[in-house]
Amino acid sequence: MAEEGPPAWVRAAFAAQGDPVRLAGGKGGTWRVGDVVLKPAEGDEEVRWRGDILAGLPESPHFRIARPVRAADGDWLAGGWEATRAVAGQPDPRRVDDVIRAGAAFHEAVAAVPRPALLDRRDNPWEYGNKLAFGDDVPAGRRRPSAVLDQLLDLWRPVALPEQIVHGDLLGNVLFEPGLPPAVIDWAAYWRPAVWASAVVAVDAMVWHGAGSGVINRWAHLPEWGQALVRAAIYRLATWDAGGWPQEPEEPYRPLVTAFERLLAGHEEGLSGGVRAAGQTRSSQEM
């Protein structure tokens, strides 16, 4: 069980030597054993697909990855666990621009990866939020009433952007270590425009980590940036609602609606105060 750490035979299957040490994050189920990081697999098909892609990805001067580790039998799984090589570094949500740049380099490296059929078989709250954000068909009755989400949906407009495989949860999954390129870990795979993945970083940074609207303005040159931000915020709020989890506070998202309205109207000035205050609201709640 994840709470007890990977069993000895699983550690041996991945040639992981040493005492298991629980790591922060990863829903509390991620463990480091020597130079190997193990965690319970969430979807065998996706683990095997991701392992094959990352194992063959060339080294880059712009980002590192946590290389997957094969089990003794050649599989990417053993007893419901997956493993990667440990990578040095810590997340830093304050470095939002560096995260966006690392994500862009990663997305360029995987741009030729074909769309995996496994995405058609996913059914979870994140997939619901993803589909609602892009105007895809979603099951009725899976979201709770939300005035802010309704406002964001009112801002939604169709866009035409190329789609590719992307990492949809970068902000907490890019690690920084002095003297090394950023490391991209825990790949949450989606088939969406790369600009959307950058917008999710910006939204997360503004809502939960006190980033001001400068991040909006600094990346406003990206194609359809305003609509990408709208979709990122819809994705986050709709996922929370569809999961049936305790209501995510809507108040931190409310200033984003005004910010997005102004951006979409071509008026970017005067946005920082409200958005920064929203981020500070979450910071004070977490202390």
Q: What is the pLDDT of residues 140-180, one digit of tens each?
A: 767 777 899 999 999 999 999 999 999 999 999 999 999 99
Label residue 6 by pLDDT band (50, 70, 90).
very high
Label residue 247 by pLDDT band (50, 70, 90).
low
Tokens standing for residue 112: 């030729």
Q: What is the pLDDT of residue 140?
A: 74
How high is the mean pLDDT of the chain? 89
Residue 85: pLDDT over 90: yes
Please state which of the ranges 190-199, 229-238, 241-250 shows the lowest mean pLDDT: 241-250
Tell me the β-bridge partners of 184: 65, 174
Q: Which of 51, 29, 44 is nearest to 80 (CA)?
A: 44
Cα–Cα distance list, 269 to 37, 213, 244 (Å)? 45, 9, 37
Q: What is the pLDDT of residue 273?
A: 44
Q: In whole angstroms, give the CA distance from residue 128 to residue 121.
A: 12
Task: Please tell me which residue, 40 or 4, carries the higher pLDDT value.
Answer: 40
User: To the nearest whole percent, how much of the chain has pLDDT over 70?
Assistant: 90
Residue 275: pLDDT over 70: no
β-sheet with 64-65: strand ranges across = 64-65, 183-184, 174-176, 90-91
